[in-house]
Amino acid sequence: MRKRDARLLAVAYGLALVGLVALAVLTWDRYGQILLILAVLLALIAPLRREPEAFLPLAIGSVVLALAYLLIAPANCTTGAIGRVGGDQVPGRFCESLAGIDYEREGTADPSAFPAFGASLAAGLVVAGGVRAVVRRRMGLDE
């Protein structure tokens, strides 16, 4: 690859990261945190761009982590009554993920997104491992 092309790709990568951070700021209340995590992960692995056997698994795993989180994390929350205790209604929060998973919690706080993050992290790690195996096999590094 020529130096000029490499510089253009580096600038495009940097602009994409800036755009991702801007999107994270604009959507902070709902999805911004995971988008910022994705931007930080992609910035940390940027020096590995010229080494596909190291870069591709990490980049694809990071994107899968973010996409899985966006699909399964609680979103679209409303407040209502969960049920009755001794004749009194118990207030609660009801949320549904983009994938259709229902979440419910007593009180006015949103349900925890930690289980969704754990599942997303597991998905990202599994995909990164699979991509690593495929890349190494294609490059002849597993022989």
Q: What is the pLDDT of residues 71-89, one digit of tens each?
A: 999 988 888 887 666 767 8
For 98-123, b/e burial (b = at least 16 CB within 10 A) is: eeeeebebeeeebbebeebbebbeeb
Name the packing angle between helices 33-44 and 52-72 (round to 10°): 180
Question: What mean pLDDT do residues 27-33 have?
Answer: 87
- DSSP annotation of 143 reads -
- CB burial class (10 A; 0-12, 13-18, 19+) of residue 64? buried
Range of the structural domain that residue 80 is part of: 76-109
Distance from C-alpha of 122 to C-alpha of 116, rounded to nearest angstrom: 10
The H or E element that residue 88 is part of is strand 88-96
- Flag whether 141 is in a domain: no
- Flag whether 84 is in a domain: yes
- Flag whether 120 is in a domain: no
Distances from the Cα of 81 to the Cα of 85, 87, 89, 127, angstroms = 11, 12, 6, 40
- Flag whether 99 is in a domain: yes
Pairing mode, strands 102-106 and 75-85: unpaired
CB 79 within 8 A of CB 104: no
- Flag whether 62 is in a domain: no
- Flag whether 38 is in a domain: no
At 119, is the pLDDT very low, low, confident or very high (cuts 50, 70, 90)? Answer: very high
The total of structural domains in the chain comes to 1
The H or E element that residue 78 is part of is strand 75-85
- Flag whether 90 is in a domain: yes
Q: What is the pLDDT of residues 127-143, one digit of tens each?
A: 999 999 999 888 887 65
- Flag whether 33 is in a domain: no
Q: What's the pLDDT score for residue 31?
A: 87
